[in-house]
Structure 1
Amino acid sequence: MNTKSNTTEETRAIVEQFYKRRSLNDIDAVIDLIADDIKWEIPGDKDLAPWLGNRSSKAEVREFFSLQKQYVKSLIFDTKQLVVEGENAVAVGYLSSRMLKTNKVFNSHFMTHFTVKNKQITHYFFSEDSLELVKVLTEDERKIEEQKIKDSSAIDLVILYFEKTDKRETDLDTLFSEDVEIYYPKFGEAKGRTEINRFIAWTRGFIEKLTHEISDFSYVISENRVIVEGTESGILKSGKTFSKTRFCSVFTIKDNLISRMYIYVDPDFAGEDAERFGY
């Protein structure tokens, strides 16, 4: 087994342990999996939901679990899919929780991104439906309408990206900020608008045609993050076809531009993996 495979399996094992220990409500055991300098992110309105926000230590993560227990009763937490490559893992699933403040039930799809190094979780990012959470925590129509407008604008930008991608348009980089961060399996991580052009050229080097089933996309919007789960089909340069390959993409929107785009998919569309390493 090569080093990359070893790392992938170690990451998978840690993430699976994280969920197992959470399901047993063994918070001490969960904290043992967290790095001392953890980057813990759960976007949202902390005034409405005090357990949300950023944390950077084990003590602060422990506070998260304490606050969550105080305000939320979990009804369903179901991880549907786990995609792992190297140090990165993405879990996609569904949750249902009762908000103890209002006694209303919050239902949402969720996405969690983990980074695991030296068998500890160094980055944890959790995203759920911000609009639905606002709805079950407040009767303030202004807050709800503001969230609706923000969500709609973000989705429109993401859809435009996929439409331009499918049409193979050449001005895709104009949708991104100058310092955009990107990630794609086998291509790796990169930063800057010029890297977007390199990424596009790289993918078009082995994909002749790509189509996304945009009308069937599922979205989770959490503050300025848009998580898209869907399928894509296409034709490779080799002439081989692929159909309904599932993917998950995470976009961060800033000043009406995409400032971060992480795509999680198996790029080995037709068993030709060796040709598609970007490094």
Structure 2
Amino acid sequence: MSRDIAQEESVRETVQTFFQLLGTGDADRVADVFAEEIDWYVPGDESLPWVGRRTRREQVPGYFNLLWPALVAGESVVEFHKLLVDGADAVWLGRFTHTVQANKRTFTTPVAFHFTIENGKIVRLHLYEDTHAVSQAVAA
């Protein structure tokens, strides 16, 4: 099987753009890197309003507009460990540390994002993290 180096570089650039846009805090700009139809999945405790599936680009800002206010602004730490790219798929590995706004609890979780990129747009984003740690930290 031959590798498509140009495709993999495009995938890598799209994932990097996603994380750069996250840093802007502008949920609408983050949504711009997604295709119209998406396979978005963030598993977790259903009491957390941001978890679950999304299928359309216009649903992306809603995720961040629910999540970001739940965390203390300026106190999150994102550690990048590795980006693996194979064809249209990419896996971003790292660790997040956040502080919950409501109770000031800090939690750290390893994270893995599975992206699929088509024509420079994200068509799949699945987030894997320690959902138990997130739920425990957010619990009142």
Q: Is the TM value for this pair above 0.5? A: yes
C-alpha separation in 1, matches of 2:50 and 2:132? 16
Amino acid at match of 1:67: L
Displaced runs of 4+ in structure 1, greater than 4 A?
Answer: none
Amino acid at match of 1:58: R
Question: What's 2:93 paired with?
Answer: 92
TM-score normalised to structure 2 length: 0.90
C-alpha separation in 1, matches of 2:85 and 2:120? 14
Q: Which aligned pairs between 1:51-70 and structure 2 lie closer than 5 A? A: 51-70=50-69
What's the CA shift for 1:138? 2.6
Tell me: higher relative CO, structure 1 or 2? Use CA pairs within 8 A at least 6 residues apart.
2
What's the CA shift for 1:136? 1.3
Amino acid at match of 2:133: E
Residue 30 (structure 1) aligned with residue 15 (structure 2)? no
Residue 82 (structure 1) aligned with residue 79 (structure 2)? no
C-alpha separation in 2, matches of 1:30 and 1:135? 27
Amino acid at match of 1:40: W
What's the CA shift for 1:27? 2.6
3-state DSSP of counterpart to 2:31:
helix
3-state DSSP of counterpart to 2:4:
helix
C-alpha separation in 2, matches of 1:134 and 1:68? 13
C-alpha separation in 1, matches of 2:134 and 2:52? 14
C-alpha separation in 1, matches of 2:46 and 2:59? 14
Question: What's 1:19 paired with?
Answer: 19
The structure with the larger Rg is: 1
Q: Which aligned pairs between 1:139-178 and structure 2 lie closer than 5 A? A: none
What's the CA shift for 1:60? 1.3
What's the CA shift for 1:78? 1.7
Question: What's 2:103 paired with?
Answer: 102
Question: What's 1:121 paired with?
Answer: 122
What's the CA shift for 1:112? 0.5
TM-score normalised to structure 1 length: 0.47
Gaps of 5+ in 2: none
Calculate the aligned-residue CA RMSD, in Å.
Answer: 1.6
C-alpha separation in 2, matches of 1:17 and 1:134? 29
Q: Which aligned pairs between 1:114-263 and structure 2 lie closer than 5 A? A: 114-138=115-139
Percent of aligned pairs with the same amino acid? 26
What's the CA shift for 1:102? 2.3
User: Aligned in 2, Cα 1:3/1:84: closer, same or farther, shift over 3 Å?
Assistant: closer
